[in-house]
Amino acid sequence: LPHSPDEAHVVVIPVPFEATTSYGGGTSNGPAALLEASKQVDLFDVETGRPYERGIAMLEAPAELHMWNERAKERALLVIEAGGIESGDAELLSAATDVNGFSEKLNDHVYRTTKHWLEHGKRVAAVGGDHAISFGIIQAHAEKYPGMGVLHLDAHADLRVAYEGFTWSHASIFYNVCERIPGVKTLVQVGLRDMSENEHRYIEDSGGRIHAFYDAVLQQNRFDGLPWNQQVKQIVDKLPQQVYLSFDIDGLDPVLCPNTGTPVPGGLSFPEATALVAGVVRSGRTIVGFDLTEVAPDPEGSEWDANVGARLLYKMIGWMLKSQKA
């Protein structure tokens, strides 16, 4: 597309960072793969019209982000291979501290970049990278839209406390959001099917701030004949007027994202996921921003993961623009 970031209405921040990835890797290549795959996405969308006419531009990822990612991954590997820092080994503790330091730099970069473009009247999205990259962009949006809700599509709850010793682990993103960003009023999680007992307890003890729609329950409702549009209404009814979307690609059926880092059987189909986004807008709510994470291209060369991710990205942009009057 021909628009510069200054000309575009939607600015996309690439965040090639996956320091704390604890299973499969490759998500740091996600932003570049999404950009390449986007060339195969038809610009006219039957549901949202012509999102491209408003202008969409992806920023360049600074070289230092790639450097932080490589150095943090090297240090994180020591901890991951040891299964965490529980042993108290000084070298492991030092490595975890280093990783946390790089993650804090990353958070600050994403936060400042998001804040800059929001102040210039743009709608801002981020693409990862692992799910840990979402903290800075959620923080900036919560400052601009206090009381907003987060709609979180994921196979995992991501409510672990400093998983494996990493404060900013991808498995801890929404624990950090809930504990550190008071501007987020409500967290609505959809598609959860792999979580710890402590995470489940954290949801139960949240006093209604977190609403979980577990995949097993969604599927059982379907088996019992409850249409998806009615389930979407139940989900959307838990959200406030202003909504931020945080979508981990592994919330989808892994047939659609086989190379993501932590695939889990089950999940939403592509039409179900996009109908959920559409349901937010059709309810009269406003999508203020979003992120898409954990897209990992096939190391063998298939573009399937990036193709699905790019199409989800364009749908999210389209519905975000459709939800806004200006």
131 is in an annotated binding site: yes
Report which DSSP code applies to 268. B
> Residue 264 in 3-state DSSP?
coil
Q: Enumerate the β-bridge partners of residue 45.
A: 49
Q: Phi/psi of residue 245, each to 5°? A: -100, 130
Residue 253 is labelled as binding a ligand = no
158 is in an annotated binding site: yes
Tokens 């010793």 found at? 165
CA angle 270, 274, 275 (to 5 degrees): 110
What are 62's two structure tokens? 């600074």
Q: Is 205 annotated as a binding-site member? A: no
Contact between 149 and 188 (Cβ < 8 Å) = yes
Distances 124 to 97, 190, 221 between C-alpha atoms, Å: 30, 22, 35
Q: Give the burial class of 307: count Cβ atoms within 10 A of its Cβ; 0-12 exposed, 13-18 middle, 19 or more buried.
A: buried
Task: Could you list the residues known to form a binding site for Mn(2+), using ranges.
Answer: 131, 154, 156, 158, 248, 250
Task: Could you list the residues known to form a binding site, using ranges.
Answer: 131, 154, 156, 158, 248, 250
